[in-house]
Amino acid sequence: MTPKTLLIVYHSMTGGARQMAEAAQAGAAEEGGVTVRLLHAAQAGPDDVLAADGYLFATPENLAAISGQLKDFFDRCYYPALDRINGRPYACLICAGSDGQNAVRQIERIATGWRLKPVAEPIIVCTHAQTPEAILAPKQIGAEALERCRALGQALATGLALGVF
């Protein structure tokens, strides 16, 4: 049997979303029957999307939206993957300064167009960064939040390996 592939696509300017994606990657790697690919949004393309069996999208919320680079990833991949990945599972990770809900809504709308199946509640980590200095400062995501990201990666990989998704 061919191993399943979990594609984790992320963008991060200050390290928060990257830490979350890496924690999810570590959790997913604990599942032996799944290939885990962690790609920066600038490097991920339509072939990566088509080759994956499930997805995890990680982004900061910038100005109440997903990051521009994650949006660019979706722009480049949306039509080449349309009607070719229906029903595949996905989840998302958001590193936000306040609530993160608009970034979640954007990803949900794109995933609905792709006809992906949400398999977990979004994980939103709020850094409470509200000043220009705090927003631009390197982020350090706490151990509890990283553990939630690790567990989500592990759950996605396990679901793929077992054929649950």
User: For 129, phi and psi rounded to 5 degrees?
Assistant: -75, 115
What is the DSSP secondary-structure string of 100-150? -HHHHHHHHHHHHHHT-EE-SPPEEEE----SHHHHHSPP---HHHHHHHH
Helix axes 16-29, 143-162, angle to 10 degrees: 40
H or E element that contains 91: strand 89-96
In the prediction, which pLDDT does 33 show?
A: 87
> Into which CATH architecture does domain 4-162 fall?
3-Layer(aba) Sandwich (3.40)
In the prediction, which pLDDT does 32 show?
A: 83
Confirm if 149 and 23 have CB atoms less than 8 A apart.
yes
pLDDT in tens, the chain (165 residues): 688 999 999 999 999 999 999 999 999 999 888 999 999 999 999 999 999 999 999 999 999 999 999 999 999 999 999 999 999 999 999 999 999 999 999 999 999 999 999 999 999 999 999 999 999 999 999 999 999 999 999 999 999 999 999
CA of 157: how far to CAs of 64, 68, 125, 133, in Å? 29, 27, 21, 37
Listed by start position, the domains of the chain span 4-162
Confirm if 98 and 52 have CB atoms less than 8 A apart.
no
